[in-house]
C-alpha cells in the first residue's frame, strides 16, 4: 500500500531552497518516490497555519518513505534543510481511515 510524505516547510534562505531542490528529486528515484504536488499554497481555506511551501510525495510504502528520509542519497539535502528551514513532516498510509 502506498505511503505519502506530507511536508510543510518555511525556508529562511532562497539559495538554500534552490540547492535543496537540485538534490532532492534525484534522491527520491531509488526509493520509488515521486512528487504529486509541491510549491507555495494557493490559499488557506481554514485556520491560521500558512506554510511557505508544501509537498506531497508518493512512495510505494511508508517503509520506503522512511528509508528515503534516512538514506545517504537524501543526507546532503537533509543537512541543507535542517540548517535553513523550519519543517513539519508526516507520513501517512494510503487508505487509512
If one counts the domains in the chain, the total is 1
Read off the pLDDT band of 6 (50, 70, 90): very high
pLDDT at position 96 is 67
Provide the 3-class DSSP secondary structure of residue 36.
strand
What sections of 1-97 are H helices per DSSP? Answer: 14-28, 62-69, 75-84
Per-residue pLDDT reduced to its tens digit, 24-62 = 999 999 999 999 999 988 888 888 877 789 999 999 999
Whether 15 has a pLDDT exceeding 80, the answer reads: yes
**pTM recorded for the entire structure:** 0.89
| Domain range for 72 | 3-93
Q: Which residues have C-beta within 8 Å of that of residue 62, sequence separation ≥ 6? A: 3, 91, 92, 93
| CATH number for 24 | 3.30.70.100
Amino acid at each position: 500500500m502506498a505511503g505519502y510524505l506530507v511536508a510543510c516547510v518555511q525556508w529562511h534562505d532562497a539559495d538554500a531552497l534552490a540547492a535543496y531542490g537540485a538534490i532532492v528529486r534525484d534522491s527520491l528515484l531509488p526509493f520509488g518516490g515521486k512528487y504529486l504536488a509541491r510549491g507555495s499554497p494557493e490559499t488557506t481555506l481554514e485556520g491560521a497555519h500558512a506554510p511557505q511551501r508544501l509537498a506531497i510525495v508518493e512512495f510505494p510504502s511508508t517503509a520506503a518513505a522512511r528509508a528515503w528520509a534516512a538514506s545517504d542519497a537524501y543526507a546532503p539535502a537533509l543537512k541543507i534543510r535542517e540548517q535553513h528551514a523550519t519543517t513539519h513532516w508526516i507520513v501517512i498510509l494510503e487508505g487509512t481511515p
